[in-house]
A and B are shown apart, each in its own frame.
Chain A
Amino acid sequence: AQTVTQSQPEMSVQEAETVTLSCTYDTSESDYYLFWYKQPPSRQMILVIRQEAYKQQNATENRFSVNFQKAAKSFSLKISDSQLGDAAMYFCAYTRGIQGAQKLVFGQGTRLTINP
C-alpha cells in the first residue's frame, strides 16, 4: 500500500522569507502523481502544485516550487517570499498513474504559520 509521510507537524517562517515543507512517500509504482494541497482555516482544500513522476523537471507555480527526488521518494515544497495568506495546513498527496481517476493518499499535514 502506498503511504505518504510528513515529518513536520508544524513550521513557522517570517513574512517574506522562504520555507520548505518535507514529504516522503512509499510506492512500488513507477507511474504516479504527487500534489501539494493547502487547507486554510476556511477548510477548503486548494490545489497548490502538481508533479508528474515521469517528468524530471520540478514543477513550479509562481512562488511555489517542488524538489522532486524520485529515487529518494522525496517531494518537498518550497514557498518563496512567504505571505500572511500562506498560513494554512499543507498536505502532500499521492495518486497512482493507472488509467483513470484514482484515489488520493494524503500525509498527516504540516501547519504553517507566517510571522509578520
Chain B
Amino acid sequence: DAGVTQSPTHLIKTRGQQVTLRCSPKSGHDTVSWYQQALGQGPQFIFQYYEEEERQRGNFPDRFSGHQFPNYSSELNVNALLLGDSALYLCASSSLTFRPDTQYFGPGTRLTVL
C-alpha cells in the first residue's frame, strides 16, 4: 500500500521565480491538503482539494495556487517567489468516505528561495 509521495525532495529557486510541487495521495484517498512548515514552526494550512476543486483555503496570498487531477494527484504552484516562501511544503491526503478527519502526510518538499 503506497503512502503519500511528493516530488521533488529539495528545490532551490531565486526570488521572483515560479515553482511547482507535486503530490500523489495514499491509495484510496481522494482529498489532498497542502501545508507550509517554516523552520521551527508547526505546519500552516494552505488549501485543500477534492473532486478537482479547492474546498478550503488558509490565509495565503493568491500567489499560491493549486490543482487536482482526475487521478487525485495534486500540484502546488507558487508564483513570484519571496525569501519568506522558504519552507518545508507538506502534502496530506485523506478519504472523504472513511475517517475524513484523519490526514496522512508525505515526506515533504524543502524549498529554498535565494
Q: Which residues of A contact B (CB under 8 A)?
A: 4, 33, 35, 37, 42-47, 50, 91, 93, 95, 97, 99-109
Contacts and interface: CB of A to CB of B under 8 A. Distances in A.
A100 to B, nearest CB: 6
B45 A104 contact: yes
A46 B44 CA distance: 16
Interface string B34-60: 010000111111001010000110100
A46 B70 CA distance: 27
A33 B100 CA distance: 11
A44 B31 CA distance: 19
Contact of B101 (A43, A45, A91, A102): A102
B66 interface: no
Interface residues of B, number: 29
Contact of B45 (A91, A97, A103): A103
Contacts of A99: 100
Contact of B103 (A43, A104, A108): A104
Contacts of B103: 47, 95, 101, 104
23 contacts: A4-B42, A33-B102, A35-B102, A43-B88, A43-B110, A47-B103, A47-B104, A50-B102, A91-B42, A91-B43, A95-B103, A100-B100, A101-B31, A101-B50, A101-B94, A101-B101, A102-B101, A103-B33, A103-B48, A103-B58, A106-B43, A108-B42, A109-B42
B102 A47 contact: yes
